[in-house]
Every structure is written in structure tokens, then in C-alpha cells.
Amino acid sequence: MAETEHRIEKRRLQKLGDEKYTHPKEKEDQIRLVLGNRRYFNILELFAGNGNLTKVYQDYLYKGFGKIHSYDIKTTKEDSFRLFHKFIYQEETYDIIDIDPFGFPCRLFPDIFMLIDYGYLFLTFCKPHKIHPSSHLSLFLKCYFGEEIPRLDNILTGVKKYSNFHWRDANVVNVLDLPGVWRIAFSVTKVMAKEFSWGKVSNSYRNSIEQVG
């Protein structure tokens, strides 16, 4: 009973944007580390929450040309899981895509890669071993990543595989190891089949993992 009450309270604080669970400062630092001083035309934020990162991304637009597209069910009443299909139909493309759900972004794979040719994908992924287990969740994760409780390397390999479905190659740039979630930055490149770096993600990604907390 106490564990159930803890989960309810955690969910409530997440919805309120409590920094203990949303980690805006750590996410901002990662964005600035990965993007440096470059500028971009189009940025897409899905599950944007209270807009903490929207303010950060303002610094990475070409002034007068760039645009941030920010969506969240609480503020724009748009369901990101459904909305991105609309953008695919409209043949939109983005330089940066940020996916920051409370939970798992699996349902956006592999088609999210139809929205980016060259740029960066920032992805927040709950640590499965930190979530209360259920047969439904175990089957869900096994369908996407081949394991009921996928490890970080399973997830990184899975995302890379899903990028290949649409002739993109996603490679790990940085991983934040936060309490309860991994925050992962990928570089994304549109490539020909013969240019794919097929196979599992290299262990070199471990060098980019930053421990927090």
C-alpha cells in the first residue's frame, strides 16, 4: 500500500514539474554541451511539459528564421503520440527533435525518424528497473527492445535499429544517468544503405555517460 501511495505522489509531483523528477537544469546543461554555439531552423518539442526547455532552445534558433514547435497535452491539448503522424503527412522536417515523456517513447519508433534528416534527437527514457513491474509493461518493452527489462545498451541498440528502418543512422552523442531516467542525445544522419554502421552500438557510448545525483 505504501509503495502505491509513493507512486501516486511521484506522479503528482511529475505533473507539477517538480525538479526532483523533471531535472531541467541537467537537461539544459546537456543540450548546451551537445549543441554548442550552433544555430538551427526548426526545433520540435514533444511532451514539452511546462516549457522549461523551450526557453533554452530559443538560444539555438536562427533569429528571424528559426521556429520552435512545442507541444504538450496540458498546454496545447495536443497528444504528441498522435500529433507526430500529422507532421509526417505534411512532410515536415526538423533539425532537432526533443522527446521528453513521463514513461516510454516507444510508440514513436520507428516513424519519428521520418521527421529528421540531419540533426539531433534528445530522448528521455524511464529506467525499466525503476518502474513497478507488470506483465503488460514487460510485454510492451519486450516487443520494442527484445527484453522485458531492457538495459541501457538494449535501448541504444534498439533506437539505432529503428533509425535504420527509415534510412537514418542514429549514433549516441551523450547519455545522462539521472535518478529514474536516462536522457540520451543522438546525432541523426540520412544515409544510403551501404553507409550504415550496422550492428550493436559500440561500448564507446559509456565514455559519454554523466552520473548525476
- Alpha-carbon distance 84 to 137, whole Å? 23
- For the cut 50, the answer to whether the pLDDT of residue 1 exceeds it is no
Question: What is the structure's pLDDT at 205?
Answer: 61
- Alpha-carbon distance 17 to 48, whole Å? 11
Question: What is the structure's pLDDT at 163?
Answer: 96
- For the cut 90, the answer to whether the pLDDT of residue 155 exceeds it is yes
Three cell numbers, residue 158: 534498439
- For the cut 80, the answer to whether the pLDDT of residue 10 exceeds it is no
**The 181-190 sheet, strands edge to edge:** 67-71, 42-46, 96-99, 118-126, 181-190, 168-178, 209-211
- Alpha-carbon distance 173 to 209, whole Å? 9
Mean pLDDT over 107-111 rounds to 97
Contacts of 50 (CB under 8 A, 6+ apart): 17, 75
- For the cut 50, the answer to whether the pLDDT of residue 213 exceeds it is no
Strands of the chain (E only): list them: 42-46, 67-71, 96-99, 118-126, 168-178, 181-190, 209-211
**Which has more pLDDT, 189 or 132?**
189
